[in-house]
Chain A
């Protein structure tokens, strides 16, 4: 009896469509990923415009983020978070020490600028390589444990690195003062500096600080070589992360997060997969560290402090861990708040609430004040809590919900105009 029903069911089952669903690919990306990539390219290239929406001299001008220093930070910390997400978002291993790789990358980069050349290419390449080797050592040891013990081990490594950089390793790291290229450094690949000139980071002669401003009416847009170099590197890093997400390796990393037991009893060893993810994300951090010194040629140990490691965790979760674009959004939001919100002071608040009667004006200023200036961390904390509680998928989930609402609205309209048969 049962035999028959079973066989019947088998034969009745529709032949699974083994028709190739390989839709046309551009640059090895599916249509959706390509759209995302294209959007990110447009946004980063047009950033000097998009981030400066308010005219110079207007009250809102302080919210403009289109100046080189901040734009560079957006893309560099975007890289840092993209890399962190490859480890945390895919495998679920939460590293609390990734700033160590950023710091090691920065130190390596500065040394290249001291010894070899002020050209940023060797600095960046060596930052990535050195951070990768360091991540291999730290990962090999830390990955003997999982969960909270793994997090604590990485934190311990990072704090050790910080302490070493701050004190014992002073000859290499410059200790409290940190490092920067000096006129007297050997720089064997560069010619002698002109008298009185200081060493400047460049890309085959194009100085990172170079750029031009463009005045359009009351708007002032700044185009900076350093930003565009960092932005191109970020786009490459983002592209690679999409490829990793869609690859068999990426699938294995998600399998590690989902069920390690099943993975090992399916003949796959979780350890080399997580270690590879750890090293790759360490190299992304090193890349970010190298770019930081390429843009601003100095480094200090505080770059490796645990708060810096915590920041990249916040960026990733805030934006949406395990999503492609989330970490970049998270990095952008945090860096924006750190640089813009923190600059608002009491005087500015008084200007804003000037229209209110005096008593109310003072009251409003007192109410808002704790959340701005030095208090921006408080605002960040509140936003973070709200996101984690109401949008566990981060800003990306928020975006999807809003998009979903619009879609449903449209569908409803459509069903109104064309009544169902």
Chain B
């Protein structure tokens, strides 16, 4: 059994069947890519995993526990962190503060009323955040206002914030969307490094086949809300159904 089990999940938006009977099992410690054309239901599927949406039917379980009906912060505390399609960071806070918040969440849980001590006097939290920023190669930006960084840096920061929580499962929603080639390559290297150095499972949604084939151990192809095939990258490359449904338009990469 995988770390994440999705069974028979359906989700409708009015008349639109966004997800139709999705079954998906993500094994521990792999990088699992979910690909498919725009509107295939990839983001909707992620939303069902993190508590942003509740599936109409079906079950989602993480490490054997159901996540359905739990609120996003509870699911996160179970060990699932998510990077969004457009970077979601605390724009009005400094880069260092951005990084400290997940550290506090990891240490103190979903709420702690610590209203008197100075935040910068929490040396262990500051050091952990600074260390994480170093690892993300952005230690020199720690005093910047997060909103003033480039998109690539914001994405990097967001990934770092997720890693600071030491999640078992990291969900990435098109981490290279809208990025320049160089930034994309940097992101690929960063993710490779994360994959190699950490005890972590990665589920990545990606449009860019170059990214997918550089990272994925397994690939699920989603089309019109339903998984078409699931296989290794090598087999997916040659799969006629996939070429037809998806790669046909993107095989240039």
A residues lining the B interface (CB < 8 Å): 2-3, 6, 9-10, 13-16, 18, 20-22, 25, 28, 30, 243-244, 246-252, 254-255, 257-259, 261-269, 272-273, 276, 280
Contact = CB atoms under 8 A, between A and B. Distances in A.
Nearest to B184: A2
B110 A267 contact: yes
A16 B130 contact: yes
B226 interface: no
Given A259-B88, A268-B111, A272-B111, 10 more contacts: A16-B139, A22-B121, A248-B112, A251-B101, A255-B93, A258-B90, A258-B93, A259-B89, A264-B76, A267-B109
12 contacts: A2-B186, A13-B137, A22-B121, A243-B118, A247-B114, A247-B119, A250-B115, A251-B100, A255-B101, A258-B90, A263-B73, A268-B101
A394 B97 CA distance: 25
Contact of B93 (A18, A254, A269): A254
Contacts of B50: 265
Contacts of B92: 254, 257-258
Interface string B96-114: 0100111011101111111
B142 interface: yes
A9 B130 contact: no
Contact of A261 (B88, B113, B115): B88
Interface in B63-102: 71-73, 76-77, 81-82, 84, 88-93, 97, 100-102
A14 B122 contact: no
A249 B115 contact: yes
B111 A6 contact: no
Contacts of A16: 130, 133-134, 139-140, 142
A250 B88 contact: no
A267 B77 contact: yes
Contacts of B110: 267-269, 272
Interface residues of B, number: 55
Nearest to A255: B90
Most buried by B among A257, A263, A266, A268: A266
A265 B186 contact: no
A47 to B, nearest CB: 28
Nearest to A3: B189
Q: From DSSP, what is the main secondary structure of chain A's interface residues?
A: helix
Contacts of B185: 2
A248 B71 contact: no
A257 B91 CA distance: 10
> Closest 6 interchain pairs by CB?
A16-B139, A267-B76, A249-B115, A267-B105, A258-B90, A2-B185
B165 A250 contact: no
A267 B165 contact: yes
B253 interface: no
B179 interface: no
Contacts of B137: 9-10, 13
B76 to A, nearest CB: 4
B139 A248 contact: no
Contact of B106 (A3, A244, A258, A267): A267
B245 interface: no
A386 to B, nearest CB: 25
B105 to A, nearest CB: 4
B122 A248 contact: yes
B116 interface: yes
Contact of A248 (B109, B114, B123): B114
B150 interface: no
B237 to A, nearest CB: 21
B84 to A, nearest CB: 8
A18 B101 contact: no
B93 A248 contact: no
A262 B93 CA distance: 12
